[in-house]
Amino acid sequence: MADPEPTDAARRAAPADDLPVARVDGGRRVSLVWLVPLVALLAALWLGYRAHQQQGPLITIAFQTAEGLDAGKTPVRFKDVDIGVVETIDLTADLAQVLVRARLNKPMARYLNERARFWVVRPRLDRGQVSGLGTLVGGAYIAADLAVGDGSQERFEGLESPPIVTAAAPGRAFTLLADNLGSLTEGSPVLYLGIEVGRVVGYALRADRTVEIQVFVDAPHDAAVDVATRFWNVSGLGLSLDATGIRLDSDSLTALLRGGVAFDNADGATGAPVAAGREFVLYADRASALAERFDHRELWQLTFSGSVRGLVTGAPVEFRGIRIGEVVDITVDLDGAARGAEIPVTIAIEPARLGAVDRELADREAQRRLWDELVGNGLRAQLKTGNLLTGARYVDFDFYADDPPREIAWGGDMPRLPTVPTPLDELSGLLSKLARLPLDRMGDDLASSLAALRDTMGATNRLLGRLDRQTASELDATLVQTRQTLAAVEKTLAPNAPLQSEAYRVLNELSAAARSLRIMADYLERHPEALLRGKGGEDP
């Protein structure tokens, strides 16, 4: 603190040497005015730090188009609650996609994982349903489907349409494998006991040309899916004509219009539970899905020499009306030298359907002896018509005691069972043999025989003229009668006699009838349905 200033009286009384001397203060003083910007800077830093700590994650979503999106305005919503906003919209370097960067609220960071999905909500007409009409007034927005999951992710591929099932929906997804998709599409219903319990959520084509169909079954109905469950297609209206008859398959009206998948267990059987993602075979219809199946099948070969028209792959193999297998392959072996052909038919027999045979499976030699014994007792395979309307055929096994003894050909790729021809084949063979008879030559031989008989009668007449008169007188009456008879015979045996002409005509008609019977048998073989509805307009 500076010394006090001396008064005027002191200055006058003080000597000259006692005059005050000024002191120089070299220190700087900070003005209080600088505290204001310092405090403002510290406050700004603190607010920036707090804002950074409270700022939510920045994510990137790739879309095919930015239609309806606006940077700084378009919101991101989850269950119609705003959870963020679009900050920027850019294009990728190859111009293939649109990159939308959106800032989400900080609490949403824990849900940004592989299960998160985003899509743009616009007015949409899809699968017969109208959605997004609210955006006509409020504008488009980005919808989110979030769920708790593992890991963290900042880049996402946006969906072009809303997902069929949300990530948080209770239930499980399964995979169905089919030869073709049919009329199934995303959103097609999944039915259990006629009740819609799920839907088709997607499909793809595998490298092996198998169609992979993803279905989702809602809880608690997903518990009904186990290892014994079978799925089948209920899309559209199914009409089948085969050896078992006519079948018309249809399900609910919804499945008829939109397609669908149904599932159930065969005969109410239950199995062990399955995990999500389990693969199942998608059968074509309910009958094939719930049909009884056995793990063990044996291949046999049958050889037919006649026509197999109407026999197709999958046709039943029966023993006295009981199905024991099915046809798996049909081929043909041509023999140019013999001018003939054989048609090998491969069948698959399920021995478990034949109790006696199945019990012998543990001993292959005993099984072979059993089959040899059955064939030795007349077991044969024969083609039969199962449906006169369609001409569909099947393979039937039965015992034919009149058939000559034959054996199983155990050599080759598969054993060959003996067969017997169909009745139509036998009739066709008989008529073919009859048509090959030389009826014209037989008629000529008959005419020659009649001429020889006429010459013999003439010689006899001349011999009688040279007989003794006495003998002639006694035989006169007999000779007169004989002459009359011979005259009648001669008239009858004349070349233009009615009897000979009639005999020729009968022989010709018999030959024509044989050819007609053979043609009719061949036609019935190709068109057995003609027995019910007539020949029709088709030329055989």
pLDDT digits (tens, 9 = 90+) for 275-324: 988 999 998 888 778 876 666 788 999 988 888 888 888 888 998 888 88
Q: How many CB atoms neighbour CB 315 within 10 A? A: 24
What percent of the chain is predicted at pLDDT more than 90? 22
pLDDT at 118 over 90: yes
- The lowest-confidence range among 33-42, 64-73, 227-236 is 33-42
CA dist 484 → 471, 494, 497, 498, 526 (Å): 19, 15, 17, 18, 58
Side-chain half-sphere of 40: how many Cα atoms within 13 Å? 5
Task: Tell me the average pLDDT across 425-449.
Answer: 63
- pLDDT value for 21: 67
Least confident of 236-240, 341-345, 416-420: 236-240
Whether pLDDT at 127 is above 60: no
| pLDDT above 50 for 1 | no
Residue 30 clears pLDDT 90, i.e. is over it: no
pLDDT in tens, 31-57: 666 777 777 778 777 777 666 666 788
C-alpha 507/C-alpha 492 separation (Å) is: 18
In the prediction, which pLDDT does 362 show?
Answer: 55
SS3 87: strand
Q: What is the pLDDT of residue 11?
A: 56
The pLDDT of 73-83, averaged and rounded, is 91
Per-residue b or e along 471-494, where b marks 16 or more CB atoms closer than 10 Å to that residue's CB: eeeeeeeebeeeeeebeebeeebe
**Residue type (1 letter), 52:** H
- Answer yes or no: are the C-beta atoms of 198 and 221 closer than 8 Å: yes
**What is the pLDDT, as a whole number, of residue 360?**
47
Distance between CA atoms of residues 281 and 232, nearest Å: 8
Whether residue 472 has pLDDT greater than 80: no
The band of 27, judged by pLDDT with boundaries at 50, 70 and 90, is low
Query: How high does pLDDT run on average in the chain?
Result: 78
CA dihedral 400→405→410→415, nearest 10 degrees, is -20
Predicted confidence (pLDDT) per residue in 179-214, tens digit: 888 888 888 889 998 889 999 988 999 998 899 999
Per-residue model confidence as pLDDT tens digits over 479-522: 677 777 777 666 666 666 666 677 777 777 777 777 777 777 77
Q: What is the mean pLDDT of residues 139-168?
A: 86
Q: What mean pLDDT is predicted for residues 402-424?
A: 86
Per the model's pLDDT, the better-predicted residue between 66 and 519 turns out to be 66
What's the mean pLDDT in 390-395?
Answer: 83
**Is it the case that residue 216 has pLDDT exceeding 90?**
yes
Instruction: Name the one residue in this structure whose structure tokens are 């900080």.
Output: 106
Q: Which two tokens stand for residue 216?
A: 């989702």
Long-range CB pairs of 519-527, under 8 A, 24+ apart, other chains included: 521/424, 521/427, 521/428, 521/431, 522/428, 524/424, 525/306, 525/307, 525/309, 525/422, 525/424, 525/425, 525/428, 526/307, 526/309, 526/391, 527/391
Is 149 or 245 the better-scoring residue by pLDDT? Answer: 149
> Which of 251, 270, 269 shows the shortest CA–CA distance to 260?
251
pTM of the model: 0.53
Terminal Cα-to-Cα distance of the chain (whole angstroms): 139
